[in-house]
């Protein structure tokens, strides 16, 4: 049997409901070949996977509000104390299943406060995406961008759904910190949030606004690493969340939120009034349930409920 014939046989057996262990026993004569079968199935799924939601990972950096204050602690700043309002400094973004990390900033522009070209770039990406993923993006990035859009006379981008990894972290875990730096340091193996090196803390923003080219180079690295570490963090946290949009509505099939179709039946899910098939993704571990109640109306008619 050639390799191509073996791959075809594995695909056929998998579609008929054989587990990876069963396939490995039949084709290889040993259950320990399960990992080889899974590797082949994963490569096939990746080559065939072309549908699904357009998912955008993004992060924006904004300039601070500059104003005059009388003291360092417990300030209330009036509108007439503001000398320069905030605006967008840079953004970075990345499509799921793409290796390209996009980045634009205000370096080299004549008027630093005129961020219309920068806004148009991120507006186009949000207008194209189905789902936008960020960290604290619902309270910060998304609202900040909407404010700049409307202040510049722009229409809202096409509706997109939002996934906020900060919300997932707060809802399902009790981490010491929910900051992106802490989470990526402790959970991510490939990418971690970049720490400022040459320009620590506020110095990076200050030097960028002063037109320092070295600061802008560091801002680009910093912004891109935020997006790369965000994407890795999302894949780690997503299987724990029950608020991720249903990807099946985009793929018209039983597809996991990680993009895998390697979803197998995994027992039953019980509610107070029903029993449903339970499924588990063998790639990321995400659990889901079917929509059909396995109990008949006659069976349910004899149930009692709490009062």
**What CATH number is associated with residue 231?**
3.30.420.10
Query: Looking at the structure, do residues 222 and 272 belong to the same domain, yes or no?
Result: no
Query: Looking at the structure, do residues 65 and 183 belong to the same domain, yes or no?
Result: yes
Q: Is residue 292 part of a domain?
A: yes
Number of domains in the chain: 3
Mean pLDDT of 7-34: 76
SS3 state at 60: strand
Q: Is residue 307 part of a domain?
A: no
Say which residue, 195 or 304, is predicted with more confidence: 304
The pLDDT mean for the chain works out to 90
pLDDT number for residue 226: 96
Q: How far apart are CA 138 and CA 93, in angstroms?
A: 16
pTM higher than the cut 0.95: no
pLDDT tens, residue by residue, 48-77 = 444 678 999 999 999 999 999 999 999 899
Residue 30 above 80 pLDDT?
no
pLDDT tier at 44, thresholds 50, 70, 90: low
Return the DSSP state at 283: T
88 closest CA partner among 69, 64, 123, 53: 64
Query: Looking at the structure, do residues 166 and 37 belong to the same domain, yes or no?
Result: no
Say which residue, 244 or 250, is predicted with more confidence: 244
Q: What are phi and psi of 54, to 5 degrees?
A: -85, 110
pLDDT tens, residue by residue, 224-236 = 999 999 999 999 9
Q: Is residue 2 part of a domain?
A: yes
Query: Looking at the structure, do residues 83 and 216 belong to the same domain, yes or no?
Result: yes
Contact 163, 230 (CB under 8 A): no
Contacts of 2 (CB under 8 A, 6+ apart): none
Its domain, for residue 187, covers 55-239
pLDDT number for residue 49: 46
pLDDT tens, residue by residue, 203-215 = 999 999 999 999 9
Query: Looking at the structure, do residues 100 and 1 belong to the same domain, yes or no?
Result: no
pLDDT tier at 219, thresholds 50, 70, 90: very high
SS3 state at 93: strand
Query: Looking at the structure, do residues 272 and 230 belong to the same domain, yes or no?
Result: no
Query: Looking at the structure, do residues 74 and 215 belong to the same domain, yes or no?
Result: yes
Mean pLDDT of 163-182: 97
Residue 253 above 90 pLDDT?
no
- Among the listed ranges 11-20, 43-52, 213-222, which one has the minimum average pLDDT value? 43-52
pLDDT tier at 86, thresholds 50, 70, 90: very high
Q: How many CB atoms lie within 10 A of CB 212?
A: 18
Beta bridge partners of 91: 60, 104
pLDDT number for residue 38: 76
Q: Is residue 110 part of a domain?
A: yes
pLDDT number for residue 259: 76
Query: Looking at the structure, do residues 288 and 154 belong to the same domain, yes or no?
Result: no
Contact 54, 130 (CB under 8 A): yes
Query: Looking at the structure, do residues 60 and 28 belong to the same domain, yes or no?
Result: no
Query: Looking at the structure, do residues 81 and 189 belong to the same domain, yes or no?
Result: yes
pLDDT tens, residue by residue, 98-144 = 899 999 999 999 999 999 999 999 999 999 999 999 999 999 999 99
pLDDT number for residue 1: 64
pLDDT tier at 20, thresholds 50, 70, 90: confident
pLDDT tier at 17, thresholds 50, 70, 90: low
Query: Looking at the structure, do residues 75 and 214 belong to the same domain, yes or no?
Result: yes
Q: Is residue 305 part of a domain?
A: no
Q: Is residue 191 part of a domain?
A: yes
pLDDT number for residue 50: 45
Q: Is residue 71 part of a domain?
A: yes
């Amino acid at each position: 049997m050639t390799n191509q014939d073996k791959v075809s046989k594995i695909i056929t057996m998998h579609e008929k409901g054989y587990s990876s262990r069963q396939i490995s026993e039949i084709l290889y004569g040993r259950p320990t070949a399960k990992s080889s079968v899974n590797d082949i199935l994963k490569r096939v799924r990746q080559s065939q996977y072309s549908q699904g939601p357009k998912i955008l990972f993004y992060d924006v950096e904004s300039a601070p509000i500059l104003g005059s204050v009388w003291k360092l602690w417990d300030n209330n700043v009036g509108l007439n104390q503001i000398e320069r309002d905030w605006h967008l400094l840079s953004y970075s973004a990345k499509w799921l299943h793409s290796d390209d990390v996009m980045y634009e900033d205000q370096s080299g522009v004549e008027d630093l406060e005129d961020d219309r070209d920068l806004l148009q770039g991120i507006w186009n990406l949000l207008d194209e995406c189905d789902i936008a993923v960020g960290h604290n993006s619902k309270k910060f990035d998304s609202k900040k961008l909407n404010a700049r859009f409307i202040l510049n006379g722009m229409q809202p981008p096409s509706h997109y759904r939002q996934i906020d990894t900060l919300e997932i972290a707060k809802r399902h875990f009790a981490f010491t910190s929910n900051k992106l730096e802490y989470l990526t340091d402790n959970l991510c193996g490939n990418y971690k949030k970049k720490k400022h090196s040459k320009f620590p803390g506020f110095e990076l923003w200050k030097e960028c606004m002063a037109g320092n080219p070295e600061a802008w180079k560091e801002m680009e690295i910093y912004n891109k690493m935020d997006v790369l570490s965000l994407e890795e963090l999302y894949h780690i946290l997503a299987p724990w969340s029950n608020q991720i949009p249903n990807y099946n509505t985009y793929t018209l099939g039983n597809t996991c939120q990680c993009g895998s179709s390697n979803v197998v039946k995994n027992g039953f899910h019980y509610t107070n009034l029903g029993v449903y098939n339970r499924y588990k993704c063998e790639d990321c571990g995400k659990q889901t349930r079917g929509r059909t109640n396995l109990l008949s109306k006659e069976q349910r008619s004899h149930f009692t409920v709490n009062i």
